[in-house]
Amino acid sequence: MNQTLRDPREVMREEMLMHAPILAAVAEEPLTIPQIAERIGHPAPEVVYWVMGMRRYGFLSESGDADDDGFFAYAATGRQV
Amino acid sequence: MDYDVLVLGSGIGGMESSIKLADMGYQVLLVEKEASVGGRMILLSKVFPTLDCASCISGPKMSTTINHPNIKTLAYSEIDHISRNTHGGFQVTVREKAKFVDWAACTGCDVCQKECTVAVPDQFNAELAPRRAAYIAFPQAVPKKAILDRSGTSPCIAACPAGIKAHGYVSLTRTGKYEEAFQLNLDATPLVGTLGRACYAPCENGCTRSQVEGTLPIRMIKRYVADEHYATHEGPGVEVSPPTGKSVAVVGSGPAGLTAAWQLARQGHRVTIHEAQASPGGYARHGIPSFRLPKDVVEADIANLTAIGVEIICNSPVADLQALKDSGYDAVVIATGAHREAALDAAGVDAAGVVSGLSYLKDSAAEVGPDLTGKRVVVVGGDVVAMNAARTALRQGATSATVVAEAGKPGALPCNEIEYTEAAAEGVEFVFSTSVAELRTAASGEVTAVRCVPFSAPSTSADASEDAEAGETVQAAAAPATASTAASELVADLVITCLGLDVDESLFVELAGVGNKSRILANRRSLQTKAKWLFAAGDVASGLSTITRAVGSGRRAAHMVDRFLKGESLDGFELDSKLSTTKHRDVLARHSSITHRDPVTGQVRLNQQPRDFAEIEAGLTEEEARSGAGSCLDCGICSECQECAKQCPAFAIDMTQRDKVSEVEVGAVVVSTGHKLFAADLKPEYGFGKFPNVITAMQMDRLLAPTRPFNTVLRPGDGKVPDRIAYISCTGSRDKTVGNPLCSKFCCMYSIKQNQLIMGALPLADVTMHYMDMRAAGKRYEEFYTQARDMGAQYIKGRVAKITEEENGDLLVRYEDIENGGGIVEASYDLVVLAVGIQPNRDVENLFTDAPLGLDEYYYVAEPSAELSPGQTNIPGVFVAGTAAGAKDIVDTILHAGAAVAQVAAHLEHQHFAEQEALV
Of B492, B484, B342, which is closest to residue B409 (Cα–Cα)?
Answer: B484
Average pLDDT on B829-836 reads 98
Residue A71: φ, ψ to 5°: -110, 135
Query: Do B236 and B186 contact (CB within 8 A), yes or no?
Result: yes
Query: Do B102 and B654 contact (CB within 8 A), yes or no?
Result: yes
Residue-level pLDDT at B919? 79
Q: How far is CA B53 from the centre of its chain?
A: 39
Measured at the CA of A73, the angle between CA A71 and CA A79, to 5 degrees, comes to 145
Distances (CA, A) of B676 to B522, B680, B882: 57, 12, 13
Q: What is the ipTM of this complex?
A: 0.97
Instruction: Say which DSSP state B24 is in.
Output: T
B176, B590, B711 ranked by CB distance to A81: nearest: B176
Confidence of residue B701 (pLDDT cuts 50, 70, 90): very high
In this predicted structure, the answer to whether residue B499 has a pLDDT above a threshold of 60 is: yes
pLDDT per position as a tens digit, B477-491: 433 344 445 668 999
Residue B547: φ, ψ to 5°: -60, -40
Burial of B445 (0-12, 13-18, 19+ CB in 10 A): exposed
Peptide bond into B49 cis (omega under 30): yes
Residue-level pLDDT at B66? 97
Average pLDDT on B602-618 reads 94
In this predicted structure, the answer to whether residue B462 has a pLDDT above a threshold of 50 is: no
* C-beta atoms of B711 and A62 within 8 A: yes
pLDDT per position as a tens digit, B173-188: 999 999 999 999 999 9
What is the rounded distance in angstroms from the CA atom of residue B527 to the CA atom of residue A1?
A: 63
Measured at the CA of B500, the angle between CA B494 and CA B502, to 5 degrees, comes to 130
Residue-level pLDDT at B464? 36
Residue-level pLDDT at B822? 84
Residue-level pLDDT at B463? 41
Strand pairing category for B811-817 and B823-829: antiparallel
Confidence of residue B458 (pLDDT cuts 50, 70, 90): low
What is the rounded distance in angstroms from the CA atom of residue B406 to the CA atom of residue B436?
A: 9
pLDDT per position as a tens digit, B109-134: 999 999 999 999 999 999 999 999 99
Average pLDDT on B375-396 reads 97
Strand pairing category for B434-441 and B429-431: unpaired
Instruction: Say which DSSP state B368 is in.
Output: -
Rounded to 10 degrees, the C-alpha dihedral B7/B12/B13/B18 comes to 40
Tell me whether residue A29 is in a domain: yes
Average pLDDT on B711-739 reads 96
Distances (CA, A) of B310 to A33, B235, B299, B336, B841: 53, 13, 14, 18, 61
In this predicted structure, the answer to whether residue B466 has a pLDDT above a threshold of 50 is: no
Contacts of A34 in chain B (CB under 8 A): 718-719
Q: Where in B468-565 does DSSP place strands (E)? A: 474-475, 488-491, 494-497, 501-502, 534-536
Domains of chain B listed by start with CATH number: 3-97+663-674+841-917 (3.50.50.60), 98-150+650-657 (no CATH), 155-237+579-647 (1.10.1060), 247-339+503-566 (3.50.50.60), 343-502 (3.50.50.60), 679-838 (3.50.50.60)
Which residues lie closer than 8 Å to B640 by C-beta, 6 or more apart? B153, B154, B157, B165, B167, B168, B655
Contacts of A71 in chain B (CB under 8 A): 718-721
Instruction: Say which DSSP state A6 is in.
Output: P
Of B42, B77, B37, which is closest to residue B58 (Cα–Cα)?
Answer: B42
In this predicted structure, the answer to whether residue B88 has a pLDDT above a threshold of 90 is: no
Pairs of residues, one from chain A and one from chain B, whose beta carbons lie less than 8 Å apart: 123
B121, B629, B691 ranked by CB distance to A9: nearest: B121
Query: Do B519 and B503 contact (CB within 8 A), yes or no?
Result: yes
Q: Where in B50-165 does DSSP place strands (E)? A: 52-53, 71-74, 77-84, 90-96, 119-121, 130-132, 134-136, 146-148
Query: Do B411 and B467 contact (CB within 8 A), yes or no?
Result: no
A1, A15, A57 ranked by CB distance to B805: nearest: A1
Distances (CA, A) of B611 to A52, B354, B357, B428: 55, 22, 19, 13
Tell me whether residue A2 is in a domain: no
* C-beta atoms of A13 and B127 within 8 A: no
Tell me whether residue A18 is in a domain: yes
Cα end-to-end span (Å), chain B: 21
Tell me whether residue A70 is in a domain: yes
Range with lowest mean pLDDT among A3-7, B524-528, B540-544: A3-7
Query: Do B59 and B140 contact (CB within 8 A), yes or no?
Result: yes
Please write down the HEC assignment for all residues of B610-669: CCCCCCCEECCCHHHHHHHHCCCCCCCECCCCCHHHHHCCCCCECCCCCCEEEEEEEEEE
Burial of B440 (0-12, 13-18, 19+ CB in 10 A): middle
Starting at the earlier edge strand, list the strands of the sheet with B270-274.
B311-313, B270-274, B247-251, B331-334, B534-536
Contacts of B689 in chain A (CB under 8 A): 5
* C-beta atoms of B716 and A10 within 8 A: no
Q: How long is chain B?
A: 920
* CB burial readout B64-101, b (16+ within 10 A) else e: bbbebebbbbbbbbbbeebebbeebbbbbbbbbbbbbb
Q: Name the average pLDDT for chain B.
A: 94
CA distance B126 to chain A (A): 11
A2, A10, A32 ranked by CB distance to B719: nearest: A32
Q: CATH number of the domain at A25, please.
A: 1.10.10.10
* CB burial readout B608-639, b (16+ within 10 A) else e: eebeebebbbebbeeebbbbbbbbbbbbbbbb
Residue-level pLDDT at B486? 64
* C-beta atoms of B717 and A44 within 8 A: yes
Residue-level pLDDT at B820? 86
CA distance B810 to chain A (A): 9
Tell me whether residue A81 is in a domain: no
Confidence of residue B916 (pLDDT cuts 50, 70, 90): confident
Confidence of residue B340 (pLDDT cuts 50, 70, 90): very high
Hey, of B714, B811, B812, which one would you mutate to test binding to chain A, going by the most A CBs within 10 A of its CB?
B714
Query: Do B273 and B258 contact (CB within 8 A), yes or no?
Result: yes
Query: Do B796 and B770 contact (CB within 8 A), yes or no?
Result: yes
In this predicted structure, the answer to whether residue B704 has a pLDDT above a threshold of 90 is: yes
Tell me whether residue A28 is in a domain: yes
Distances (CA, A) of B61 to B70, B141, B311, B903: 14, 12, 63, 21
Burial of B364 (0-12, 13-18, 19+ CB in 10 A): buried
Contacts of A16 in chain B (CB under 8 A): 117-119, 171, 174-175, 630
The alpha carbons of chain A give a radius of gyration, in whole angstroms, of: 12
Residue B529: φ, ψ to 5°: -95, 180
pLDDT per position as a tens digit, B652-679: 999 999 999 999 999 999 999 999 999 9
Peptide bond into B599 cis (omega under 30): no
CA atoms within 13 A on the CB side of B872: 14
Starting at the earlier edge strand, list the strands of the sheet with A60-62.
A31-32, A73-76, A60-62
Contacts of B717 in chain A (CB under 8 A): 1, 44-45, 48
What is the rounded distance in angstroms from the CA atom of residue B398 to the CA atom of residue B778?
A: 94
Hey, of A4, A13, A46, which one would you mutate to test binding to chain B, going by the most B CBs within 10 A of its CB?
A13
Name residue B378's beta-bridge partners: B402, B495
Residue-level pLDDT at A4? 83
Tell me whether residue A12 is in a domain: yes
* C-beta atoms of A69 and B595 within 8 A: no
The domain tally of chain A equals: 1
Strand pairing category for B429-431 and B400-404: parallel
In this predicted structure, the answer to whether residue B214 has a pLDDT above a threshold of 80 is: yes
Tell me whether residue A71 is in a domain: yes
In this predicted structure, the answer to whether residue B53 has a pLDDT above a threshold of 90 is: yes
Measured at the CA of B66, the angle between CA B63 and CA B69, to 5 degrees, comes to 115
pLDDT per position as a tens digit, B262-315: 999 999 999 999 999 999 999 999 999 999 999 999 999 999 999 999 999 999
Measured at the CA of B276, the angle between CA B274 and CA B281, to 5 degrees, comes to 80
Which residues lie closer than 8 Å to A68 by C-beta, 6 or more apart? none
What SS3 class is residue B730? strand
Average pLDDT on B314-337 reads 97
Domain that holds residue A69: 8-76
* C-beta atoms of A66 and B630 within 8 A: no
Contacts of A17 in chain B (CB under 8 A): 174-175, 626-627, 629-630
